[in-house]
Chain A
């Protein structure tokens, strides 16, 4: 028998998850080793927080406890890319950038473009991270066709498959998407891919008031144009910039960009995306919020934010981001949530500086399904050892 490839070391402040320093950091090299680690943790009653590229360690609510930080970056194999089927199987520790590079050689891509550098597939599934092109490709829930997970007790389970169309059994991939490690550890993922579009054209329009992006994005969505992204950046109550991205064959993007300029009543055409395209607003000192709302309510949501708040939005999809100054966040958040509720709007804290993190209600109201979510959690993790406290309602 070969020696186990699991490496272990004591946790340090660099490993802190939402300010909580783990007692130990464990890095298995295979799926079986992940199961071994979890079985041992179950026997010892230890709490476990899975982690990938560490690009979102400060996202979500801090865990109540973290005995073990389970680093999945050792699971870094791209298992199977079948270009003819437009599918790929890749382990959870594979970095999105590395995957895209390999797929790109075959003229294909995974339609996810969250801006966080170094993110792994497991992490972006667990955080349900997305970027500008969600308008075209959707999000993890639309692209993940198979998943392998290890449950809290070490059970290895699989759902979905390697084919795009498949309705056999419950789709556990949906459940693990955005679950922030509270139901077990994602160890392998299978994805639907898309061809890399051959050409690109970009229309950039400066707006005196970001709120103008509301009606403009409705007009774009109701037109026959097929942009990959309609990306807004700016400040609430202040100026902004709308970037409309077209990706297709050359004839089409040229034609569509021209039509977009006409529809928007202006805008500069170019072949290049701005350097900060898709970047989240604000900086490390701000509280970063993700807002979701009925798509046509963008202007109303922007109006509900304190003036001067740096914002971005995947306009036309109903997802926006706002960077609220740390000192104001605790006060602003309840007001914001109340103001956007009529648009089915929610605001969740993605990232918060250490100083204010514990004072924030990270997830906000969940609605009448919270009790059902609690029952799901109890079934998957009855001892509450997986990322306890990181999720909604203290799950």
Chain B
């Protein structure tokens, strides 16, 4: 999906989009606190509306509460995963890795669940409830591609990495729906950064580069082919219309694909993320 083309497409469908947007932008500017229920109720988010028009197949543009409930669903998955791993103790996670890494990550994901529930409630929304989760990716059969996720530390680490890297992509994909919303966007970006810190740390534990280093042909650098979809798009090298491999690097007049892909993380839409998770980790 090329986000930069969307607005052009909208222009074709709705030549008056600019005029409509300017009114909506005034509404958005006034939404700066969680407590502003009146403003929230009046939320015709410009970007969300634009996406709705551009992608008529998407039935509804997300509200702020929709975005937060989507984030909560992902945090439920992560917190369930880490809590289950922690419950296995040293039978699964070496004591040193637990002390230095997984206790911190587990606490953070549980905190994110609590935080998002609180924010959703304060906005007058209802937090979604905990979904049915199959950590093997087997859609409740318990024998998915990661059947030994809670008995094999290597598998546990691989799934952790995929969840964190995918989480980073998922939050990034929602930022545009929170445009100019100081409180909610800042909070979402702040969770996004923590997920990226986790992703970096877990990739280090797995002996990988802390950043996603793709090739021109394949976004996925995890060595686990089953998760190619979670990394698809990370091989992109065009940013803001600029092919960044044509830009000079520290030592040459161009930049390698490895550097170009690692220097920019890519977003996933909620539809893309849910297509990856529903029917596998999220029982459907």
Q: Are A and B interaction partners? A: no
